[in-house]
């Protein structure tokens, strides 16, 4: 509800939807070797509908009864299930989605508008504040001053985008840590976006982190081995402007496109960093939320086997 209200308010006439991709997405996992008698709690991120993707849940099945909840910071949706004393060693879960994902183009289109966009003060404060691994002071801020010596927020954001692409090399696994990215000059999409968001926020530009899964453009079905993430920044003339640093790196000829646009080969699951789930987890706030989060005996439990896949819907455009 919160996410949909914000999107509807801020992303109206500034966005052109071009292509679209229709597919099913299978989100499956097994929590393995749970000690008998231990309390087990499971939180599962849920894909959501918004202006750029239409999501229908075909089925949501699991070895625990699942309840749908939202967290309060960004309105991310999730399933939650628990058992006071584990009655089995393995717990299996499967969610099957039907998704229509639309291309999102914000920049590069001449679209009439009546006035500049405005951002709620609480959201602006949230999206210019530091996260645990995304500082807004110190070295990233100092670099941002040198890199983004431009007049407008849009020019500043573009300068930071270009700096990150030119300064960093893609490498896994990542930490989602802006300082580490700046020091090592390498990382995965979480690191690329952490650095960009850190630098943008230090310049007073609201910026936020989005995460989900990327679909190969050249396949009609496949297993998905890892997540993908991107970012958005707020600019008064256009509202929330998306960008995809890693795709801009991988597809150099589309570097300009991915500053201000997202293709339809993706599905978004959640937004934001330092997330407290609903109900609250016993462990620390999550760095990001795209994989299931599990606690056994009040502690984070990582023996989880993931199985994700997609298949294009036959006959869809």
pLDDT tens-digit readout, 22-77: 999 999 999 999 999 999 999 999 999 999 999 999 999 999 999 999 999 999 99
167 exposed, middle or buried (CB, 10 Å; 0-12, 13-18, 19+)? middle
What are the DSSP calls for 122-190, one per residue?
HHHHHTTS-BTTB-SSSHHHHHHHHHT--SSHHHHHHHHHHHHHHH-EE-SS----HHHHHHHSEE-HH
Confidence at residue 173, expressed as pLDDT on a 0 to 100 scale: 83
Q: What is the pLDDT of residue 289?
A: 98
Residues in the chain, pLDDT under 50: 1-17
The pLDDT of residue 11 is 38
Give the tens place of pLDDT for each residue, 275-286.
999 999 999 999
- Structure confidence at residue 2 (pLDDT): 43
- Distance from CA of residue 67 to its chain's centroid? 22
What pLDDT is recorded for position 4?
39
- Structure confidence at residue 314 (pLDDT): 79
Rounded-to-integer distance, Cα 268 and Cα 5, Å: 17
At residue 115, the pLDDT reads 67
Q: What is the pTM of this model?
A: 0.91
Contact indicator for 161, 249 with CB cutoff of 8 Å: no
Joined tokens for residue 71: 């967290």
Q: What is the mean pLDDT of the chain?
A: 92
Per-residue pLDDT, 28: 98
β-pairing verdict for 91-105 and 261-262: antiparallel
């Amino acid at each position: 509800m919160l996410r949909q209200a914000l999107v509807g308010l801020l992303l109206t006439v500034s966005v052109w939807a071009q292509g679209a991709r229709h597919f099913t997405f299978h989100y499956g996992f097994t929590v393995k070797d749970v000690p008998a008698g231990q309390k087990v709690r499971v939180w599962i991120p849920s894909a959501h509908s918004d202006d750029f993707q239409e999501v229908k849940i075909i089925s949501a099945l699991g070895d625990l009864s699942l309840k749908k909840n939202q967290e309060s910071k960004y309105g991310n949706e999730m399933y939650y299930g628990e058992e006071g004393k584990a009655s089995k060693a393995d717990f299996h879960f499967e969610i099957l989605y039907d998704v229509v994902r639309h291309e999102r183009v914000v920049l590069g289109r001449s679209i009439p508008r009546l006035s500049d966009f405005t951002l709620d003060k609480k959201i602006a404060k949230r999206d210019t504040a530091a996260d645990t691994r995304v500082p807004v002071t110190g070295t990233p801020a100092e670099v941002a001053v040198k890199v983004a010596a431009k007049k407008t927020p849009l020019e500043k954001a573009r300068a930071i985008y270009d700096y990150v692409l030119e300064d960093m090399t893609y490498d896994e696994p990542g930490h989602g840590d802006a300082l580490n990215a700046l020091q090592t000059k390498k990382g995965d999409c979480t690191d690329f976006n952490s650095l960009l968001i850190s630098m943008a926020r230090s310049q007073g530009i609201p910026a936020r982190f989005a995460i989900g899964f990327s679909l190969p453009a050249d396949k009609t079905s496949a297993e998905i081995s890892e997540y993908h993430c991107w970012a958005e920044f707020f600019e008064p003339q256009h509202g929330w402007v998306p960008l995809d640093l890693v795709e801009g790196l991988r597809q150099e000829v589309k570097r300009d496109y991915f500053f201000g646009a997202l293709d339809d080969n993706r599905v978004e699951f959640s937004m934001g960093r330092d997330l407290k789930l609903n109900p609250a987890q016993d462990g620390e706030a999550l760095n990001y939320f795209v994989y299931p989060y599990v606690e056994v005996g009040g502690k984070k439990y990582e023996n989880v086997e993931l199985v994700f896949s997609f298949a294009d819907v036959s006959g869809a455009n």
